[in-house]
Amino acid sequence: MASAKRIGEPILKADHISLSFGGVKALTDISVEIREHEILAIIGPNGAGKTSMLNVINGFYHPQLGTITFHGETRRRMRPHQAAEQGIARTFQNVALFRGMSTLDNIMTGRLLRMRRNFLWQTLYYGPALKEELEHREYVEEIIDFLEIQAIRKTPVGQLPYGLQKRVELGRALAMEPNLLLLDEPMAGMNVEEKEDMCRFILDVNDEFGTTIALIEHDMGVVMDISDRVVVLDYGRKIADGAPDVVRADQAVIDAYLGVAHKE
Amino acid sequence: MAVAEKVIHDAPKAGAAGDPALDTFPKLLLDNARRRGNRPAMREKDFGIWQSWTWAEAAEQVRDLAHGLAAMGFKRGDKLGIIGDNRPRLYWAIPAAQSLGGIAVPVYQDAVANEMEYVLDHAEVRFILAEDQEQVDKVLSVLERLPRIEGIIYSDPRGMRHYDRSRLTSYEEVQERGRAFGAEHPGFLEAEIAKGSGSDVAVILYTSGTTGQSKGVMLTFDNVIKMTWSSIAFEGLREDEEVLAYLPMAWVGDYVFSLSQSYCAGFCVSCPESGATVMTDLRELGPTYFFAPPSIYENILTQVMIRMEDAGALKRWLFKRFMAVARRIGGKILDGEKVSLGDRLLYRLGNLLIYGPLKNTLGFSRIRLAYTAGEAIGPDIFNFYRSLGMNIKQLYGMTECSVFLCIQPNGQVRPDTVGTTVSGAEIRISDDGEVLYRSPGVFAGYYKNPQATAEAKRPDGWTHSGDAGFLDDMHHLHIIDRARDVGKLQDGTLFAPKFIENKLKFFPYIREAVAFGPNRPYVTVFINIDAEAVGNWAERNGIVYGGYTELASLDKVYELIQGCVEQVNRDLASEPHLAGSQIRRFLILHKMLDADDGELTRTRKVRRRFIGDRYQPLVDALYSERDHAAIETQVTFEDGRKGTLQADLKIRNAKTQPIPATVEPLRRAS
């Protein structure tokens, strides 16, 4: 794909991050960069700390040590809503949608941060709040078109198959117009066709909107196919970082995946 | 909702015929832009909203596109291949090409690349309009074998940013160039349109080809426009009809219903948002005029029945109760027959409680006229819709006669006939039972295939339809089967495979059936179960299964299907001519018959001979004593990969009914 992709400067830098829960060390001294317009894959065996890393990036966990610099702003503690306001969107390993709400309404919630009218206007319905709602609806319809989910626009998401729920979740994240998109196992539990569709959507998002993407994925075929760079974690440490084919040949990575005994 | 007992139809208006000067679609389009410029011509659901274009706007779109094509070098006689789902832009491409004296060649959008290659190569297409990346990819994959192609225009740019631009142009770019070209060449397009005449070939439509390679049917403007006016007069179609265009653009029916009739009668055609939203869009739109092949009516009915099974007890009771009322009197009310006052009131109540809401859910509450054609429709299905007050009728025709040959007139609608001839058309039954016809709609010929043309269009002026049928004393035509498929068993008993297959397919559990019998001692069938209906049945009966293949092999499912087969045998026994062709043995196939494997045509007709060859070991086993047979088949997946499937299928015997002794040996229907 993309021969002329313009990967730019790092937009996010995690410096010497350490995170532990009581005595359990989830992340140990990890430094990672995410560069503008790239697709970065974070891989590693179960319990390696991949999801913790995403949680640190979007402010859900607060690391004991280390800093995060996003768009030139360095911080140690941040709340998830601040991360969202700065343009970091994410999806979850276990789908976290409003199951009783329709696809359309779920994606609309992704626009919430951009709605400016206060509660009183919203209650009035007519006037500026309606105008605003229509503008956001238009953007959401573009996402629905982009993700080809027109047929389920009005379906409660609880009734949808898993693969489609994942797609709706991606739609909600896109509705924020993020500049950094974090995807936690976007293809887990999908069949081959659903995976292919999802890959295409991720590539298209990256290509058409220029969104920077960091994703966690277990399917090595997918990782090698779509990512520009791969970071490998094992037992809370970074053991490799580089282009997919370099990482694939790395002895430490092979050992981690084959389960060689760890020397403490 | 219209009052139920009112006859919903206007009587056919006599003499609705077009202005003879408007003999091509570009001319009709300009005339519509003048006469009804502000009325809607096309709609498309996009971004969740119905976007619409008036006739004046449509004419402008077509003009820019035509100018753009001219700027790209499109000349008189050139062919424009059109590939994609029903989209306004694709419909506009047809008159745009015709404005320049070109010919439109719509291609089935779900055809795989090499089927497309055959059509594009055979039709000598020079320019292509493809809807999106999917279609462009297919064309590009065979492009090196299509040296004639000079330009590919695409409508949706999604995913194509990194494609080689040398032979690809976007639709907007073409129109942009068109506007510049138009400014430099004032009067050019008007002159080009004026050069067109009714006897020019307007379109080449490739038949789906139940046998071998498909043939390109050339239809002139006169063919299509004359038959269109004739049908408009027959049904009294008006400019305020609402129509949903959802059937493949490469099919002659869509060309006539969504383009020709719209241009002549002036009504608006709406395109669904995507293939998956057709049912929702149908409901939102509420068409007044609707066409569907029997399989669609069947699917809708199956879904209604499945959903009713899951409804509460009161609703189920009401549904049962009032559907019985509808079956008894609904059809009579629709046909304007005498019905007692009590029954009328009961029907009206049913309309309030059941029929109205049901039709509303399906999007059928405004239907004035619904057609079905292409295959026989099950009497139960047919009567179901009519009893709800929907005026569903059968029509008979084919690509070679511009669709219309026979239509069932209002008040004379029966499930087993296809109606009387439309004005201008004539029908004769040949000595060996084949339907022959003459009409202004008879095609100009098969493109580059004079031999096939001569076989169909005979020097005596009659065209051979290839269908076996007979006329009854009401001048209604009955179709039995394809003439060459009607055969005889070893003992000379008449065997009409489609007749048997259709009877089987009328059961919701049976999706497809393939009957074997010519020159054999008895009749046997392959059955394809309907995954949804049988799956639901299994669920309700607590039967566990892993997938289609396993479901199809369960003993309980065999019992279910055996019940259907034996019911068909009872029906056949009551038809004196066909009592001898009862089904003795059957099996259930382990995979769905699929057009990608060549087992069905793109319009979903079974290719019986092909299937017979492909599953030869199974056919042999049906004519042996064995109770099971092994088979290995190659299957093509949707992405074009191939794989093999192995299975061991059970074979069952079905009970047959004694044949009434009085029957004389049968002659071919005449």
Closest chain B residue to A192 measured between Cα atoms? B639
Alpha helices (H) in B419-491, listed in sequence order? 450-456
The answer to whether B22 and B15 are in contact (CB under 8 A) is no
Is B641 at the interface with chain A, CB within 8 A? Answer: no
User: Residues 6 or more apart from B462 whose CB is under 8 A from it?
Assistant: B428, B436, B437, B438
Q: Which of B47, B158, B276 sits opposite A138 (nearest CB)?
A: B47
- pLDDT of B600 > 80? The answer is yes
DSSP class per residue in B495-553: E-HHHHHHHHHTSTTEEEEEEE-TTSSSEEEEEEE-HHHHHHHHHHTT---SSHHHHHH
pLDDT bracket for residue B666 (50, 70, 90):
very low
pLDDT class for B6, splitting at 50, 70, 90? Answer: very low
Helices B88-99 and B25-35 cross at an angle (nearest 10°) of: 110
Q: Rounded to an integer, what distance in angstroms lies between the CA atom of residue B668 and that of residue B405? A: 22
**pLDDT band, very low/low/confident/very high, at B468 (cuts 50, 70, 90):** confident
Task: Pick the closest to residue A232 from A223, A241, A224 (CA basis).
Answer: A241
| Phi, psi of B334, deg, nearest 5 | -65, -35
Distance CA(B252)–CA(B418), nearest Å, equals 18
Cβ A3–B162 below 8 Å, yes or no? yes
Is the model's pLDDT at B667 over the cut of 50?
Answer: no
- Token code pair at residue B224: 């299509």
Predicted confidence at residue B186, as pLDDT, reads 94
Q: Is there a contact between A141 and B49 if contact means CB atoms under 8 Å apart?
A: yes
**What tokens does B111 get?**
């055809």
Question: Cα Rg for chain A, rounded, in angstroms?
Answer: 19
Instruction: Give the residue-averaged pLDDT of A144-149.
Output: 92
CB contact (8 A) between residue A151 and residue B159:
no
pLDDT one-digit tens code per residue, B115-143:
899 999 999 999 999 999 999 999 999 99
pLDDT at residue B645, rounded to an integer? 80
Question: How would residue B577 be classed by pLDDT, with cut points 50, 70 and 90?
Answer: low
d(CA B670, CA B658): 26
Q: Which of chain A's residues have a Cβ under 8 Å away from the Cβ of B49?
A: 141
**Nearest 10 degrees: CA dihedral of B653, B658, B663, B664?**
50
- Which of B161, B162, B274 is the closest to A150 by Cβ? B274
- Mean pLDDT over A58-67 rounds to 88
Given a contact cutoff of 8 angstroms between Cβ atoms, the answer to whether A230 and A216 are in contact is: no
pLDDT at A137 over 60: yes
Chain A segment 146-165 residues within 8 A of B by beta carbon are 146, 148, 150-151, 153-154
Find out whether B572 and B500 touch, Cβ atoms under 8 Å. yes
Could you tell me which residue, B480 or B411, shows the higher pLDDT? B411
pLDDT at B576: 66
Say what the pLDDT of residue A208 is: 86
Give pLDDT tens digits for B30-49: 999 999 999 999 999 999 89
**Confidence band for B417, pLDDT divided at 50, 70 and 90:** confident
- The share of chain A scoring above pLDDT 70, in percent, equals 95
User: How sure is the predictor about B5, in pLDDT bands with cuts at 50, 70 and 90?
Assistant: very low
User: Which range is most confident: A33-47, B485-499, B569-583, B655-669?
Assistant: A33-47
Q: How far apart are CA B101 and CA B79, in angstroms?
A: 9
Q: Compare all CA atoms of chain A with the CA of B46 and give the residue at the minimum distance.
A: A145
| Residue B531, C-beta contacts closer than 8 angstroms, at least 6 positions apart | B511, B548, B551, B592
Q: How many Å apart are CA B12 and CA B407, to the nearest integer?
A: 12
Q: What is the pLDDT of residue B212?
A: 61
Task: Give the residue among B78, B537, B128, B138 at the shortest CA–CA distance from B306.
Answer: B537
B166-220 pLDDT tens trace? 889 999 999 999 999 999 999 999 999 999 999 999 999 998 665 567 899 999 9
Residues B104-143, buried b or exposed e (16+ Cβ, 10 A)?
bbbbbbebbeebbbbbbebbbbbbbbbbbbbbbebbbebb
Average pLDDT score over residue span B574-587: 83
- What is the distance in angstroms between the Cα of A120 and the nearest Cα belonging to chain B? 28
Residue B119: CA atoms inside 13 Å, Cβ hemisphere, count? 30
**What's the pLDDT score for residue B265?**
95
pLDDT higher than threshold 90 for residue B245:
yes
Range with lowest mean pLDDT among A66-80, B128-142, B287-301: A66-80
Give whole-number Cα distances, B112 to B153, B395, B640, in Å.
19, 30, 8
Kindly report the average pLDDT of chain A as a whole number: 87
Mean pLDDT for B590-604 is 83
What is the signed CA dihedral for A70, A76, A81, A86, rounded to 10 degrees? -10
How many angstroms separate the CA of residue A224 from the nearest CA in chain B?
20
Pairing label, strands B127-130, B151-154? parallel
pLDDT digits (tens, 9 = 90+) for A169-206: 999 999 999 999 999 999 888 888 888 889 999 998 99
B302 vs B427, higher pLDDT = B427
What mean pLDDT do residues A54-72 have? Answer: 88
